[in-house]
Chain A
Amino acid sequence: MRGNLSKVFELTETQLFRRAPLPKSYTDYLGRKLFLFLLTVQGLGAFALITLGVILKKFSVAPNLMRPIVRQEITRAGAKMLPMFLFVAIALGFLVIGQTVSVAARFGATDYIGTVMVTVIVRELGPLLAAMLMLARIGTATVIELGTSRALGEVEALEAVGIDPIHYLVVPRVVGMTLGVFSLTVYLILAALGSGYLFAFLQNVPLTPGDYVKQIAESLSWLDFALLALKTVAFGFFIAIVTCYHGLAQPLRLEEISRVTVRAVAQGIMVCVAIDALFILLYLNA
């Protein structure tokens, strides 16, 4: 309830620094930016931990009210996004295979098409692109919705009737976006692999479907599946955390929502890139 949100706000108080007078030197400027960055990381971390705590602690609170809301968020961040993801997946498959075929055919290396698809789409582009699309379509909407609720005083109204805003507003979105990124990445990868083969077929590349699937299967290991699942879950969870945090954790005015949305998207991209870099390190060291 009130305590959960104020805990995050008291921890960060980033607004205080943003409102401070302009610094006099570049070192002050950099120092302030660094300090703001650390405070934001601290605030996001606290918000993520509080949200995880609420998910575990209030799993069985008001299920008749909460479960339909969670289902609604899963539909919104999952099923309703599928057509757009399939369109992008087909374009991605054409693009990657198109470029690969044009280069590989010159060296007679078309045997590596499946391997390229696994490296580029399964390990890197697929999950990252899915995360970016989720951030653009659902993440921005989340900041605006929650920011509006915050600015209109609806968060205080929830607290006044004893409803925890994190439970009611944040948890369904976190669950929706986490499952959404995970499942849509799977569909995106499958569609991209399919469209990739279609492109190769249309380009008369001498590659049978069996050989293509075999190349892909040989290039994949159990680690790919495990890290793909972990990475997409992390992407979805942190996109939801960043966007909900910016929409909800600090008192807002209506005119501040556009600025906060831009900040949330920028931080969302940075968080996704950081997670991706972390997983590249895991791949390289595994």
Chain B
Amino acid sequence: MNEPPATPVIEMRDIQIGTMRDTSLTVLENVNWSVAAGEFWVVAGQQHSGKSDFLLLTGGLMPPAAGDYKFFGNETRIFDETRLTDRLRMGFIFENAQLFHYLTIAENIALPLQYHTNLPVDEGVQAIEDLLELTELKSVAHATPASLPRSWHKRAGLARALTLRPEILLLDNPLGGLDARHSQWWLRFLDQLWRGHPAFGGKPMTIIATTDDLRPWRSARRKFALLKGKQFVTLGSWNEVSATQEPLVKELLAVPLEEPVAAAIEKEERETNF
């Protein structure tokens, strides 16, 4: 007997996305997208193509301007008070980590745990110690964010998002501005999380990451999408990405473009005020 198809964890139908500062602007239109549990999506786009706003909407931090958004099958606009349980099923890592500047790295990571489980400040230390160990942040645990390089901020942002053991991880351009060593660590660690990291009970995580450079994300198991000129385009697997003749994909793969194509892209960018 055939099993009924599992409910998608995220489902978007004709979604229109504004920006955080001005919801009257539209950065993406007619987004139709479905994410099943355990998938690893990479959403690529140039700078200012709306990647962050797309992810903020997916994370329930911003309502859609129009369309239907379902999270685990439930109609959602924004995660308010009544949707706290749903909110905590999702971990969000911002592009600039957005750590609380007045707290140390360890305090930043511990904050969600202390708030949601009412742990006394000096308890729950073991869980935090484990996360610091896992993300190699132990040596900088008592430093404030201002005294650390940006690459460590991102790891602290990841550790903070993992504190409450989410099922879905949203990452806004996690490899942006990282050197090769840090990039490799991130790709390895995200892969472990996606497969089911032993530190999180071995349960596979659903991962959605945005990027402005497709090269490091090459993998047959990941799914790819593209943000192009206010449109969300599903590309499919890596084989389809590498086979496509779409100039923007070539650009995001850093393949040298032929002169007329490059001129066409430049013209398009000028017209869309990038």
Contact = CB atoms under 8 A, between A and B. Distances in A.
Given A1-B80, A2-B79, A2-B80, A160 B118 contact: no
20 contacts: A3-B80, A3-B81, A6-B78, A61-B118, A63-B118, A64-B118, A65-B114, A65-B119, A152-B96, A153-B98, A156-B94, A156-B98, A157-B94, A161-B111, A162-B79, A162-B88, A162-B116, A163-B112, A168-B115, A251-B21
A160 B59 contact: yes
B80 A161 contact: no
Chain B contact residues (Cβ within 8 angstroms of A): what range? 35 or more
A164 B116 CA distance: 11
A63 B116 CA distance: 10
A178 interface: no
Interface in B32-69: 56, 59-61
A148 interface: yes
Nearest to B164: A161
Given A2-B60, A160-B91, A162-B87, 11 more contacts: A1-B81, A1-B87, A3-B80, A62-B115, A62-B116, A152-B96, A152-B101, A153-B94, A157-B100, A159-B61, A161-B161
Interface in B82-108: 84, 87-88, 91-92, 94, 96, 98-102
Contact of B121 (A68, A149, A160, A164): A68
A68 B164 CA distance: 22
Given A153-B96, A154-B98, A162-B87, A2 B78 contact: yes
Interface string A50-67: 000000000001111100
A1 B87 CA distance: 11
A163 B115 contact: yes
A62 B84 CA distance: 14
A64 B121 contact: yes
A153 B21 CA distance: 11
A153 B145 CA distance: 14
Contacts of B96: 152-153
B208 to A, nearest CB: 14
A149 B79 CA distance: 21
